[in-house]
């Protein structure tokens, strides 16, 4: 089952080699926010956005180290958090998650058991 964006387009799996650039983009965005005068950042990993999709087994169709186990489903968000924390400090970073939400058919097949 593929996720669908608000315009009805099917989303595709990221290629493993694309992921480091996205992690770096989050790092740079956090640095830019601090340089612009913000006190901190909240990484949005909820409501069907990219990070959320990695943690939902019904839509995470990755076939690499980012799928298959709890540790692997959390790998991408944890890489982002680590990069952002290393850039601006842990006291300036939050992350928003929605583990029990099912946005646009992107649910967890066993929400009572937690993340897979």
- Write out pLDDT tens, residues 2-46: 555 666 677 678 899 999 999 999 999 999 999 999 999 999 998
Q: Looking at the domain assignment, is residue 112 inside a domain?
A: no
d(CA 33, CA 28): 9
Mean pLDDT computed over 82-95: 98
d(CA 73, CA 79): 11
d(CA 116, CA 72): 9
Q: Looking at the domain assignment, is residue 60 inside a domain?
A: yes
Range of the domain at 93: 16-33+40-97
Q: Looking at the domain assignment, is residue 87 inside a domain?
A: yes
Domain count, the chain: 1
- Does 112 score more than 70 pLDDT? no
Return the pLDDT at 95. Answer: 96
Task: Write down the pTM of the prediction.
Answer: 0.81
Return the pLDDT at 75. Answer: 95
pLDDT digit string, tens, across residues 54-83: 887 777 778 889 988 888 888 999 999 999
End-to-end CA distance of the chain: 17
Tell me which of 49, 50, 104, 111 is the catalytic residue: 49
Q: Is 49 a catalytic residue?
A: yes
Return the pLDDT at 109. Answer: 63
Mean pLDDT computed over 80-105: 88
């Amino acid at each position: 089952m593929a996720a669908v964006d608000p315009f009805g387009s099917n989303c595709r799996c990221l290629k493993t080699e694309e992921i480091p650039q996205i992690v770096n983009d989050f790092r740079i965005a956090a640095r830019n926010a601090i340089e612009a005068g913000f006190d901190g950042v909240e990484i949005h990993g909820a409501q069907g956005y990219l990070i959320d999709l990695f943690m939902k087994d019904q839509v995470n169709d990755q076939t690499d180290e980012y799928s298959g186990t709890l540790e692997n489903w959390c790998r991408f968000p944890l890489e982002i958090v680590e990069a952002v924390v290393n850039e601006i400090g842990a006291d300036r970073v939050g992350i928003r998650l929605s583990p029990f939400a099912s946005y646009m058919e992107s649910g967890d097949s066993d929400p009572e058991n937690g993340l897979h």
